[in-house]
Amino acid sequence: MNAEDRRSRVAQWLRPALLAQHAYPVTPAEGLIKLDAMENPYPWPAALIDEWLQCLRQVPVNRYPDAACAAVKNALRAAWNVPHELSMILGNGSDELIQLLAIAFSGAQRTMLAPDPSFVLYRMAAEALDMHYVSVPLADDFALDVEAMLAAIERRKPALVFVAYPNNPTGNLFDEADIREIVQAAPGLVVLDEAYYPFAGKSFLEEIDNYPNLVVLRTLSKMGFAGLRLGVLLAHPEWGSEFEKLRLPYNISSLTQTTVEFALRHLRVFDEQAAAIRDAREQLRAALGELPGLQVYASAANFLLVRTPPALGDLHAGLREQGVLVKNLHGMYRTTPNCLRISVGTADENAALVTAIHNLLSAA
């Protein structure tokens, strides 16, 4: 069977919605200053790594991990002050939990709704399951257009609404009153994605008890554990017990469980790193704001949205040529022409970025 025959068989049996999709793009970053993926730029301290490795030596990797993840959940409840009345579902990153939620609510004529722009994986999860995906454009200043959101909810009756708080890729925190209106109006479940909570410091976790249709999604990736892949869904037990039916057994490895439990005993280290990132974010925003022609938006996350002059050309490509990788948003969303999303790096990385942009602006 040749390649053409194989492609024909693939096209015959796979769902058209899947065939029409593209895989999530991850740009190779070897040899580049990596400022495209909102990671914590600081490595673990050497002494902490030594102690961590001692813990890993005791992990029985010949055995399956704890399916209930009991120790990790207890550590997370203590770190985030999560009431024991709430269910906690763990995923292999929050990406897996977004997919799990989409599976739980998928079905003929079901709709998922989110603001636009927002995290691209919401749309990808919906389309992979043949759900209708409705995107509601943000206002020109990237605030929620609450009237448009409420009108879309009334018209489309979405089973699932995703709202990132702070929003990705814009970095801003939406108005709390607007979010409450959306939760109250939504007939289905509202997922508040708090991936950037360590940098925003604001949360709706304590609000879950006030709304029967609200859940909170978090991740440890932005704290400095991106390589561990651990996402957390916090929900009323009536929701949580159903979602657990879809969670694959042993989805959190023994190495991840042991590492997270260990790291949360040293939470102060990562809280200090988050504080350093917040300070660096404001310093970077000020430095970029001094460069001619750039519009730098306020952010409550660990990245900045920057709009460049239309006549500048492909600044993203120019930065890559100078060894700096950022996220190009041009063409991805209606409201982000000539926009870059730039993760906050170390002091040296941020300085190299500013110098590279300055050089490109000077040469234009």
Name the one residue in this structure whose structure tokens are 């300070």.
279
What's the pLDDT band for 287 if we cut at 50, 70, 90? Answer: very high
With a cut of 80, say whether residue 1 has pLDDT above it.
no
Q: Could you give the C-alpha distances from 62 to 58, 59, 253, 256, in angstroms and in order?
A: 11, 9, 12, 15
Strands 339-343, 327-328: parallel, antiparallel or unpaired by DSSP?
antiparallel
% of the chain beyond a pLDDT of 90? 83
With a cut of 70, say whether residue 363 has pLDDT above it.
yes
With a cut of 80, say whether residue 39 has pLDDT above it.
yes
List, by residue range, all CATH 3.90.1150.10 domains of the chain. 3-45+268-363
With a cut of 80, say whether residue 302 has pLDDT above it.
yes
Candidates 3.90.1150.10, 3.40.190.10, 3.20.20.70, 3.30.1280.10; correct CATH number of 3-45+268-363? 3.90.1150.10
What's the pLDDT band for 309 if we cut at 50, 70, 90? Answer: confident
Q: Give me the mean pLDDT over the 212-219 stretch.
A: 97
Q: CATH for 60-266? A: 3.40.640.10
Contacts of 115 (CB under 8 A, 6+ apart): 135, 136, 137, 138, 144, 145, 149, 163, 164, 167
Of 338, 195, 174, 353, nearest to 280 (Cα)?
Answer: 353
pLDDT for position 168: 97
Please tell me the distance from the alpha carbon of residue 49 to that of residue 43, in angstroms, as a whole number. 9
pLDDT for position 186: 98
With a cut of 80, say whether residue 29 has pLDDT above it.
no
Find out whether 37 and 95 touch, Cβ atoms under 8 Å.
no
Long-range CB pairs of 49-52 (<8 Å, 24+ gap) are: 51/262, 52/259, 52/262, 52/263
Picking from 4-13, 53-62, 241-250, which range would have the lowest pLDDT averaged per residue? 4-13
Picking from 12-21, 107-116, 212-221, 233-242, which range would have the lowest pLDDT averaged per residue? 12-21
**HSE-up (13 A, CA, CB side) for residue 275:** 6
Please tell me the distance from the alpha carbon of residue 262 to that of residue 258, in angstroms, as a whole number. 6
Q: Give me the mean pLDDT over the 128-149 stretch.
A: 95
Q: Is the pTM of this model over 0.85?
A: yes
Measured between alpha carbons, how far apart are the two ends of the chain, in Å? Answer: 53
Residues 217-262 have pLDDT tens digits of 999 999 999 999 999 999 999 999 999 999 999 999 999 999 999 9
User: Residue 165: phi, psi to the nearest 5?
Assistant: -145, 95
Whether residue 166 is preceded by a cis peptide bond, meaning omega within 30 degrees of 0, is: yes
pLDDT for position 312: 67
> What mean pLDDT is reported for the chain?
94
pLDDT for position 3: 85
With a cut of 90, say whether residue 74 has pLDDT above it.
yes
DSSP bridge partners of 133: 112
With a cut of 90, say whether residue 27 has pLDDT above it.
no
Per-residue HEC secondary structure of the chain comes to CCHHHHHHHHHHHCCHHHHCCCCCCCCCCCCCEECCCCCCCCCCCHHHHHHHHHHHCCCCCCCCCCCCCHHHHHHHHHHHCCCCCCEEEEECCHHHHHHHHHHHHCCCCCEEEEEECCCHHHHHHHHHCCCEEEEEECCCCCCCCHHHHHHHHHHHCCCEEEEECCCCCCCCCCCHHHHHHHHHHCCCEEEEECCCHHHHCCCCHHHHHHCCCEEEEEECHHHCCCCCCCEEEEECHHHHHHHCCCCCCCCCCHHHHHHHHHHHCCHHHHHHHHHHHHHHHHHHHHHHHCCCCCEECCCCCCEEEEECCHHHCCHHHHHHHCCEECEECCCCCCCCCCEEEEECCCHHHHHHHHHHHHHHHHHC
With a cut of 90, say whether residue 108 has pLDDT above it.
no
% of the chain beyond a pLDDT of 70? 99
267-289 and 254-264 helices, crossing angle to 10°: 80
Residues 269-289 as b or e (16 or more Cβ within 10 Å = b): bbeebbebbbebbeebbebbe
With a cut of 80, say whether residue 153 has pLDDT above it.
yes
Please tell me the distance from the alpha carbon of residue 364 to that of residue 362, in angstroms, as a whole number. 6
Contacts of 95 (CB under 8 A, 6+ apart): 121, 231
Q: Encoding tokens for residue 168?
A: 């990705």
With a cut of 80, say whether residue 313 has pLDDT above it.
no
pLDDT for position 311: 66
